[in-house]
Chains A and B, each alone.
Chain A
Amino acid sequence: MTSTAFDIELPLLLEAVYRKYHYDFRGYAAASLKRRLTQAMDRFGCQTLSQLQDRLLHEAALFPALLDFLTVQVSEMFRDPAYFRALREKVVPLLRTYPSLKVWVAGCSTGEEVYSMAILLQEEGLLERSLIYATDINAGALERAQAGIYDAARIGGFTENHRKSGARSSLSDYYTAAYGKAVFDKSLKTNIVFADHSLSTDSAFSEVQLVSCRNVLIYFDRQLQDRVLGLFSDSLCRKGFLGLGAKESLRFSSHSYAFSDFAPGDKIFQKEAS
């Protein structure tokens, strides 16, 4: 097993970023970070991670661009239609029993998952009495999420996913197409709160009935995964629901005892103990 200069430089750079900019990537999984930082080095013309660290410490203007390399996840609307179908068929009937609903889309990036959730709740007649918290650590991504504007070229895929999720309406009911863009309806946003929140360093902020956090935990090491699952457990009401990505699980977590496998195969868990 070789230990390269990069392996030594990586934790140093993450420590520098944490101390200078208060963004904590120290608990992120190394393999993906490494790939993204290599791309960032290319982009900024740095030969080594130490050079990148030097520039980051002395050129604050560089940091937002680096943040995009480290955090932005391009997702799609209704990615993994089976997940949304399971939410619709198995979870929604229980969510209906609450007089008001709070849903947390954690690590929402540019918002595709948030609008998917809002459209699903609208189709099920629940959006009006729901509040969706859409959180991320990247302010630029949150702004894009809030704008709700996506390339028209991506709409075909979104529409197909939406249809497979058991749609009760047409996706085109929710956006206006113009100049190669699709602008999602403002009315969807009335019940969405976009907010800066770090899963690495911030705490629970509200009691919610559903947390959807998909393909975020795979970027964290086990220790950070455990912290985040603890946050979700603290945030969820008793019998509340947690939705994870297709390849994520509670298996290695100390919080696994707090959840039951509600929709096996669809990665939807229900909080049991409190």
Chain B
Amino acid sequence: MTPQAPATRDIDAVAIGASAGGVEVLSVLLSALPASCRASFFIVMHIPRERPSLLADVFNARCALPVREAEDKEPVQPGTVYFAPPDYHLLLDRGPALALSSDEPVHFSRPSIDVLFDSAADVYGERLLGLILTGANQDGAEGLAAVGRAGGRTVVQEPGGAAVPFLPEAALQVGPVDFVLPLAQLQELFATWGTR
């Protein structure tokens, strides 16, 4: 691992945002996570509404950690991956606990990456890592900046290697971003999670 990657030992929570092309990237990253990982992962993927989401089921089979669709008021468990349900915002609340909302879409998106990142930054502060992956919408760029302002680590997938570079580029523009990493290095980061 190069020194140009964030230390993960002091990270309690990871907020991840992706849209177009995200399933493939998440597939690589989540299947790399070791079973010993104690961080909690919160993921907003832009997906069509009104369709029961299969994301949690699909990834549960490929991940050493339990993968679930987030439920309202559920206490956050360590070593667990939560997906935002379709057509609801996912937020973090004190506890920490999960919270859902039906508020208006942000950047045409519900769930919105900005909403997740803002609230997670409030709750976790410097113990949060925000990660922006491939995507075709600017939702997430402002949220990542909020993670940085709260003292958390900010990471963006290298736009050149992303299936759709628009979202990573938007995040870099709003900035500042601590680490810009290609997928291979993100995969290594996830594979060694908690060891460094």
Residues of A within 8 A of B (CB): 1-2, 4, 6-7, 29-32, 34-36, 73-75, 80-81, 215, 218-219, 221-222, 225, 245-249, 252
Contact = CB atoms under 8 A, between A and B. Distances in A.
A57 to B, nearest CB: 25
Given A4-B122, A247-B72, A218 B100 contact: yes
Contacts of B102: 73, 75, 215, 218, 245
A36 B104 CA distance: 11
Given A31-B93, A32-B91, A219 B119 contact: no
Contacts of B36: none
Contacts of A246: 85, 87-88
A29 B99 contact: yes
A31 B72 contact: no
Interface of B: 50, 71-73, 85, 87-88, 91-94, 96, 99-104, 115, 118-119, 122-125, 150
B114 to A, nearest CB: 10
B150 to A, nearest CB: 8
B110 to A, nearest CB: 11
24 contacts: A1-B94, A1-B125, A29-B73, A29-B99, A31-B93, A34-B119, A34-B122, A35-B91, A35-B103, A73-B103, A74-B104, A80-B50, A81-B50, A218-B100, A221-B73, A222-B73, A225-B73, A245-B102, A246-B87, A246-B88, A247-B72, A247-B85, A248-B72, A252-B73
Contacts of A29: 73, 93, 99
Interface residues of A, dominant DSSP: loop
B55 to A, nearest CB: 15
A222 B122 CA distance: 21
Q: Which 10 A-B pairs have the closest CB atoms?
A: A31-B91, A215-B102, A31-B93, A31-B99, A2-B125, A32-B101, A218-B72, A31-B119, A218-B100, A247-B100
Most chain A C-beta atoms within 10 Å of own C-beta, residue among B101, B119, B123, B150: B101
B151 to A, nearest CB: 8
Contacts of B93: 29-31
Given A1-B124, A247-B100, 16 more contacts: A1-B94, A6-B122, A30-B94, A31-B101, A32-B103, A35-B91, A35-B103, A36-B103, A218-B72, A218-B101, A219-B101, A221-B73, A225-B73, A245-B102, A247-B71, A247-B85
